[in-house]
Structure 1
């Protein structure tokens, strides 16, 4: 299962809707950054939901895919958000 880092630049009037969608699929780690493992099917569903909300002429969402969670290193300066907050 791929591990994704998702970043976005969304107009304020659509920001909460985009954040709410991304929270269903990923862990929120910073104001405009989410990350987590996701199946191809769930990723497709997430992208379809986002496409209904964003303005493709003004908004952008970037999906960075890694082979798996173990093949990258992350260094945080300052406080790191709790990665267990979104687990149900």
Structure 2
């Protein structure tokens, strides 16, 4: 499956969330990660994100796709390009 994760968390937790997601996904730009993962990794990511954030204060949006086939267009500077995505 393919994930796109977008988050808006308190500054106290930004580095923890960023570091955790970086171990599974590719950083795209501020607070945005994407990448191909398996079902086990998906479940693990969701559990750990719930442990890292304050659900009363933070927001995380996870877009899940069966396969990566998105037509992506970047306007302006692409901060961290991926050369090829399946």
Whether the TM-score (by the shorter chain) exceeds 0.5 is yes
Give runs of aligned pairs for residues 5-44 of structure 1, distance below 5 A.
Answer: 5-44=4-43
Which residue number corresponds to residue 71 of structure 2? Answer: 73
Task: Note the alpha carbon deviations across 1:32-79, whole angstroms, 9 max, x for none.
Answer: 110011111001111121111100101111111122112x20000122
Q: Secondary structure at the match of 1:56?
A: coil
Report the RMSD for the aligned CA atoms in angstroms: 1.2
Q: Could you state the TM-score of these two structures normalised by the residue count of structure 1? A: 0.85
Structure-2 separation of matches of 1:61 and 1:27? 16
